[in-house]
């Protein structure tokens, strides 16, 4: 095993630990780790990330269900439009993005650059969500008609399919605002949606991937081990400051990705 491989697997374990500690958001580092450290193409990296996120989320659902923090009925209802969008995005949209997205005065934006820049934009949104203080305000919940939820699920599903991350920072507020769940139940329920979406999205890629199953299963296994360690450590560490600090780290990473992608051309 090379030093780079060792660092990659160590990174997988750290990502899992962060997931276990703060309850979400850590998986957004999977794609940068696969691309910039391990040298994977962004399309392959987003596909592998979906598998890693999906398998680790299944274990997350199990843990949250034991604490009675999962609303399966709401999660499954919301996941229907989302997993359709994720699957078709991975199966048809991503493969059909042109290799040269556009040419601006001789500066070529390739498919790989476009994916990573879009990913960085989503990372900025995720970091803002983690950094921002949550106010304990009581909101009046009015259940919206399902077609609106269906459209919202489609939009979030397309984003999830493009970037290969779980999208918990998008699903949690959606479940609070549109389904009337408490924050804790929304976090647990979002894992159901993320698990289903990620695994189905990965299946949409299988036909075109020459999957390195030994690497992928090892990477995923280490992430899951990290989740259990992080969950154990969370009993002794307050996750509020940790989450905010991690949000700033993700913001710095997003800026780094944008600089790197725009200067390499």
With bands split at pLDDT 50, 70 and 90, how would you rate the model's confidence at 25?
A: low
pTM: 0.79
From CA 15, how far away is CA 9, in angstroms rounded? 10
**For 62-99, what is each residue's pLDDT tens digit?**
888 988 988 998 888 888 888 888 888 888 888 888 98
With bands split at pLDDT 50, 70 and 90, how would you rate the model's confidence at 137?
A: very low
SS3 101: strand
13: which residues sit within 8 A by CB, 6+ positions away? 222, 223, 225, 226, 229
**For 138-157, what is each residue's pLDDT tens digit?**
555 556 677 777 888 888 88
From CA 33, how far away is CA 232, in angstroms rounded? 24
The phi and psi torsions of 107 (rounded to 5 degrees) equal -90, 115
In the structure, how many helices (H) and strands (E) does the chain have? 10, 2
C-beta atoms surrounding 192 within 10 Å: 25
| Residue 251, H or E segment | helix 239-264
Q: Positive or negative, the Cα torsion across 74, 80, 85, 86?
A: positive
Give the N- to C-terminal CA distance of the chain in Å, as an integer.
Answer: 32
From CA 72, how far away is CA 240, in angstroms rounded? 27
214: which residues sit within 8 A by CB, 6+ positions away? none
The phi and psi torsions of 104 (rounded to 5 degrees) equal -110, 100
Spatial contact of 198 and 212, defined as CB atoms under 8 Å apart: no
Spatial contact of 128 and 248, defined as CB atoms under 8 Å apart: no
**For 230-256, what is each residue's pLDDT tens digit?**
878 877 877 677 778 878 888 898 899
């Amino acid at each position: 095993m090379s030093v780079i491989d060792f660092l990659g697997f160590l990174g997988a374990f750290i990502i899992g630990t962060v997931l276990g500690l703060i309850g979400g958001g850590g998986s957004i580092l999977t794609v940068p780790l696969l691309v910039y450290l391990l040298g994977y193409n962004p399309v392959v990296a987003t596909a592998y990330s979906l598998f890693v996120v999906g398998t680790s989320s299944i274990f997350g659902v199990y843990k949250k269900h034991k604490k009675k923090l999962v609303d399966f009925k709401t999660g499954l209802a919301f996941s229907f439009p989302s997993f359709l969008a994720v699957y078709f995005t991975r199966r048809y949209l991503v493969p059909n993005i042109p290799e040269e997205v556009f040419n601006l005065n001789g500066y070529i934006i390739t498919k790989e650059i476009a994916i990573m820049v879009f990913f960085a934009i989503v990372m900025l949104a995720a970091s803002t969500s983690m950094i921002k203080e949550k106010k304990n305000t009581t909101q009046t919940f009015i259940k919206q008609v399902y077609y609106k939820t269906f459209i919202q699920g489609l939009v979030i599903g397309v984003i999830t399919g493009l970037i290969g991350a779980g999208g918990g920072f998008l699903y949690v507020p959606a479940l609070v605002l549109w389904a009337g769940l408490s924050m804790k139940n929304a976090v647990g329920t979002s894992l159901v949606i993320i698990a289903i979406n990620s695994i189905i999205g990965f299946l949409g890629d299988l036909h075109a991937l020459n999957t390195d199953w030994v690497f992928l299963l090892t990477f995923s296994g280490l992430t899951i081990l990290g989740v259990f360690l992080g969950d154990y450590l969370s009993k002794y560490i307050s996750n509020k400051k940790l989450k905010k600090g991690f949000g700033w780290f993700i913001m710095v990473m997003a800026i780094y990705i944008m600089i790197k992608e725009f200067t390499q051309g």
